[in-house]
Amino acid sequence: MLKIENLHVEVDGKEILKGLTLEVNPGEIHAVMGPNGAGKSTLGNVLAGRDGFEVTAGSIRFLGEDLLTLSPDERAIAGLFLAFQYPVAIPGVNNAYFLRTALNAQRTARGEPELDAMGFLKLAREQAGILDMDDKLLQRAVNDGFSGGEKKRNEILQMAILEPKLAVLDETDSGLDIDALRIVSQGVNRLRDPQRSMIVITHYQRLLDHIVPDVVHVLADGQIVASGDKSLAMKLEKEGYAWLKATKTASEALTLAS
């Protein structure tokens, strides 16, 4: 599905990712944890193709293709989805219209038939219902005046409707209350599929109680410094990241975690 090798990324001339390697197989869920400023969102942005994130070395292959040659919209059409840590508002643009236009752009590019307004609204209402999201949000401007939790739900709604092959969820749990966390996680779990992979960026182990990952990684200072199973997340929750810093090499950390 996704193969990142020795990825180096600079932003404004400053190196943020420093030789990151990560492989995600179809159907897998990978959790990425790590201290503030480690480069987690940078990873999401690079995958989605944001301007200004310059890849200086390394490679990313997505479904066998060189991801780095594709524009952001081509990546979306190829099946990549980023749920933003801070979704941006687009004043005056109807949320349902936005999402339907996006869906149909993707469908058209893939040679699939477009969904008409009625068909779309039915789908959107159904998915919004699953996420316990107020229908009214569909008729408001994209993320405009949405609460933090509403924005996060809206991201997951988009994911549910666009049905990507690989989804990167950047701190989708931050800002959600306990009930919302459960509901959104259920929404995400419904989308679990042997053909769909996810990278879940989070600071909190409790999300991983709901969305159980296959692998947990620790990203620190631009590299994956530890990988393990769910117990790694629990250890981090208890002990923080300090013990990782104390270990000298990533491989040592790996051993510690397992």
Ligand X SMILES: Nc1ncnc2c1ncn2[C@@H]1O[C@H](COP(=O)(O)OP(=O)(O)OP(=O)(O)O)[C@@H](O)[C@H]1O
Of 242, 249, 188, 253, nearest in space to 217 by CA: 253
Nearer to other proteins by C-beta: 85 or 227?
85
**Token pair belonging to 51:** 């301007």
Binding mask 80-119 for ligand X (x = CB under 6 A): -----x----------------------------------
Task: Determine if 41 is a binding residue for Mg ion (CB under 5 A).
Answer: yes
Nearer to other proteins by C-beta: 12 or 51?
51
From residue 78, give the alpha-carbon distance in Å to each of 75, 106, 109, 164, 192: 5, 9, 9, 8, 18
Nearer to ligand X by C-beta: 39 or 87?
39
**Token pair belonging to 102:** 């996006």
Nearer to other proteins by C-beta: 120 or 226?
120
Task: Determine if 151 is a binding residue for other proteins (CB under 8 A).
Answer: no
Residue 13 Cβ vs ligand X, minimum distance, rounded to whole Å: 8
User: Residue 92's binding partner, choosing from other proteins, Mg ion, ligand X, none, with beta-carbon cut-off 5 to 8 A by kind?
Assistant: other proteins
From residue 140, give the alpha-carbon distance in Å to each of 95, 164, 240: 6, 24, 40
Task: Determine if 238 is a binding residue for ligand X (CB under 6 A).
Answer: no
Binding mask 38-77 for other proteins (x = CB under 8 A): ----------xxxxx------------------xxx-xxx
Contacts of 72 (CB under 8 A, 6+ apart): 48, 49, 50
- Asked if 34 contacts 219 with a C-beta cutoff of 8 angstroms, the reply is yes
Of 135, 80, 124, 82, nearest in space to 101 by CA: 124
Which residues contact ligand X by CB under 6 A?
11-12, 14, 16, 34, 36-42, 85
Which residues contact Mg ion by CB under 5 A?
40-41, 85
